[in-house]
Chains A and B, each alone.
Chain A
C-alpha cells in the first residue's frame, strides 16, 4: 500500500439523505398474516415489498407478498422462481407496482440479510429493507426501514452498512375503515350510518368540551397561556362564515327541505313498488 496518502473511511451519505419510506397498513396486515401462517420450522418470514417511488424521492410501499425460504446457520436460500411468478401475477393486476425492497420479521438485521439484500439490489437499484418485530421484544412492535450504504476505504469496498431511514406509517386507510373494527379480535357487526354518526358526534362534543375547559383554565390563570394555541383557536372560531341569522336560517331550512323532499320521494317510490308488485303477480288471465 502506498505510504503517505491518508485513506479515510468514507460514508457515502448523500444519496440517502432525503430518502424516506411510507408504509400502508395493508403491508403490515400482510406481513402479520404471513408470519402467523409460516411453516413450523421457520423462525422468520421473508418477502418482497411492492410499491412505487414518488417524484420527490419517497418510497411508497403499498403491497407485499411472502416468499418461501430456507435458512440455516451458514446460508439462506430464497425461492427465486416463486418470487418471479408472484411478481408477474401481481403486475397483471397492477402494472404500476414494482419491487421496492424486501421485508423480514424479527428485530435486528442479521448476517443472512446482507445476502438477501444483495439479491434484491440486483433487481432494484436501491432496495429498502423493512423489519417488523413480531416478537415484541422491546415491549412494542418496532417497524424499521433500512437502506444499504456502501462503506469504502479509499477505492476498495469494505462492507455494506444498513442505515436506518425515517419511516412514515400512513394509517389513513385504516382510520377510514375504523380502528374499532381492525383492533379487536372479533367485531360483531359493521356499524351502520347512524351509529357511526353518533360516535363521531360524541367525539366532536368531547373535543369542544376540552377546548372549553382549556380556555376557562387560561382565563382563570390556572394554566399558562400558550399564544400559538390561542391564535389557533381564534382562527378556528373566525373561520365560521359570518351570516346574519335570517340568512343562516334560510340556508339551513332550504337544505332541510331538500332532504325532506328526497325522503318523501323515496318513500313514495317504495310504496309504488309494493303496489306494482302486487298487481303484476296477482293479475291472472281468467
Chain B
C-alpha cells in the first residue's frame, strides 16, 4: 500500500487526463492549431511576407527583376525572353514564357536557368531532382493550350514595354513592362489584372550554403527549434533574407532537410476595380474571400493551401484543409476575370484591398476598390494562367477547358448515399437496405468505411464480419443499389499480405529522403504509401482492382479514396515529410497538393479495367476523394471531410460547396448530419433538407455516434426527411441536366448569386442561397437552430419568383420572406424556366429509368419560359457516341405553344447506340405539364392541342385535357395538362391557345 500511495498522485493525474480526454471527445471541440503551421512558422511564407512588408513600406522600392528587351521573341502565340534578377553583384537568369492560347487564356511562366540546367549542388547527398518542378501541368492541364497564331505585338507601345494583342477579336492585351518586369492584362483597353504591380515578385534563386563560423550552433539550434520559434536570432535584423529558414526547418519534432535550399516563388496579382475575389477552395470562410493582413473582421493569416488531414477543423478560417484549387476569380459589376496559379507545393495567399477615393478628373462614379493578392509557393515554377472573362461562364469555361470538366457521373452517384463508419457486418448492411425499403425511403448507395477490411488491409474482407460480400452486393443489386468500399493509399506493413509484398518487391512506394522505402503510421499502424506518380504503380494499382483479384468486389462496387493528402499520423502536419522522394526523384514538397489527385486518377483507370468483358463496354467509374487539386473534378466526387454535427458546420457547408462549384469541382458535398458527434433531430432534419441540394448527397457518421439512418429519427422527423429525399429523387432529371452542363461547359451545379447575376453588385457577397443548375430553382436551406417561421431570400432581379410547393408569388429585387417551418424547404422557382421532374417515388434511382416526366413550366414576367433536359442511360459511356436525349423546352407567350426541340449536335444521333437508346426510351412519356403563373385567359379552357413528330397518324394533332386553377391570396394561378403523352425523346408541341 505504501508503494502504491507514493504513485497514487500520478494515477490520479492520469485519471484526470482521461477525464479531460473524454470531455475533448464531445462535439464541442476545435482544431489543434499547434499541429499546423502559421505563416510565421513556415519559413518561405514568413520571408515573403517580410519581403512584401519591406517593399510596400519603402517608397523607393524597385523590384529587382528586369526583362531583357533584346531577348523578347513572339512566335506563333508564344513569347519568350529572359528576366534577370539582380542579387548583389549577380544577375540571375530566369527564362520567361508568355503563352497566348486560342481560348483567350494567357499564361506566364518563369523558371530558373541554373536549376533547369542542373548547375546546382544538393546538400546531404540528396538524390532529389535539381530542376524546379515542372510536371504539375501533366496532371492538372488537359486541354485549351493550343497557341493562338493571331496573337501579335502591337505597334506604338510605350518605350520599355511589349504589347501583345490576343484573344477573341483581339480584345485582350498583355502589356509587358520590361523594368521592373510586370504584366498588365487589359480587356477593351481597361486593365483587369496586374502582375508584379506592387513589386512583390520573388524567385528565390539557388545559392550555395555558406557556413558561418558560429561554433556549436547546430546543436543548440535544434533544441531551440523544438519550441515554437523557428527563427534564428540574427544579430543584424535588417536583412530581408532571413537565412534561418533557408537550409533546414523543424516543426512539431520533424526536421525538413531542404537539400535545395530556399526556392520559393512569389508574385503579387492585383485586380483593379474589383472588390470581390472568390476561390482558393477549400476553406471554411465566406465565399467572398476576406482580407488576410489583420483588421476588424479580417484574418491575420494568409489563405493556406497545403492539403492536410485537419482534425476537427474550425469555422471561418484561412487554415488549409484537405484539398486545394489555386484558382481565383475576381468580380465587379458585369465583369469576371480569373487566375490559376499552377503550383502544387505549399502555397499561401495574402489578400488586401485598397480604395482610391473619387478622382474628380475621372469620369467614374466615386472611388474604386482594388483587390491585391500576394501568392507564395515554396518551390516549383512560377506559372500562372490569366482569364479575362468578361462573363463568369467565360472564366469557368476557360478554366475547365484547361483543367478538365467534371466527370459526368453515373445517375446513382447523384442520388442519395448512406454511409457510416461503420456498417459492422454484411448482415448489418442487408438489414439497413431492407429497412430503407420497409420505410419507403429511397437510397442508391451504401458505404463501407475501413472496418470491413481484415485488419485494415485493403483489398481484403474481414472474414468474421463480412463473410459473404458477394451475397450482400447481390441483395443490393436486386434494387439496382451500389456499394462503395474504402481503399486508402497507405498499405499495411505486415507479413503475408500480397499487396504490401508486391508494393515492396516492385518498388512502387514513396521513398524517404535517403531514397529508401518510406514508412509511416496510419490506420493499419506501420504502413507504406503507393506512389501514384509512378506509371508502374498505376498499372499495378489497376491490377489490384480486378474482380478476380479483389475477391468479393462486384460490378456494383465502387471506391472511396480517403486519407490521400496523404494523411500520415506521425508525419509533420499529419502528412509526409517534404523531403520524401517520389517517382523521378521529385521531392514531396514539389507535388504535395497533387498527391490526392494522382491516387484517384489511378483508381479511376483501375475501375475501367476490372474485367476484360467490361472493358469492351465500360461503365463510368465512381470514386470519392478527400484530397484534391485543380483537375480532380475529371475523376470523381469530393466531400468536405470530417465535419461536425453542429449548426455552424451545416451553415458553412453551403459557402464551401458554392466555392467548390465556382472552382471547377462542383461534384461536392458535406457529410449530412455531421461526422463527429450526434446531431439533434432538428439539426439532422435540416441537414437532410440542405443535403438534398448538395451535388454530392451523402449521410455519414463517426463510429462513436449513435445510429442515425433516416428511419430511426421517428416522427415527424423521419417523414420530413423522407420528403426531402424524395424531392431530390423527383428532381434528379434537373440535377442530371445540371451535371451535364458542368460536364460540357464547366458550369457550377449549385450556383451562387453573383454567378447567375453578375450585374447585381448587392448579391456579390451572398453565399447562403443558390440556384440549382440552370433550372431557375433558388434554394436557401435553413441552417440555424430554432428557425421555424420564415427565411429571408434575396431576389437579385425584377423577375417573378414562385414558391416551389405553394406557388406563392414573390417579386424582386430585394429580400422576401419565405415560409420555413420544420417541414418546409425555402425553395423558389424563378419565372421563365422549365423544370423537368419524375414524380413517382421508387426504391432507387435506377428503378425510375422508365418513369414518365412531369414538366413544370414557370412563366415569368414576360410570359415566356425555357428549360433543358439531358438524359442518357446513366451508367455507360454510350453518350459519347450520341446515345442520349437532350431537349430544349420553350414556351412563348406570343405563340402560347410549348415546344420540345432537339439540342443534340447534328450528326451525333446517327450511331447505332444512339438509335438503340432512343428506341429504348420510346415509351417514356411526359405524363403531366404544370404551368405555374398560367394566364388568367386560360380560365375556362379545357383542352390543349398536342402534336408529336414521328410517322403516320401519331403525328396528327389531338386534344388533351387541361385544367386551370386560380391562385388564392398571393399564389399564382396554375394549369395542369393531363397526360399529353408525348415521348420525352421526341419533338412535340403543346398549343395552349
Q: Do A and B come from one complex?
A: no
| Residue ranges of B at the interface with A (Cβ–Cβ < 8 Å) | none
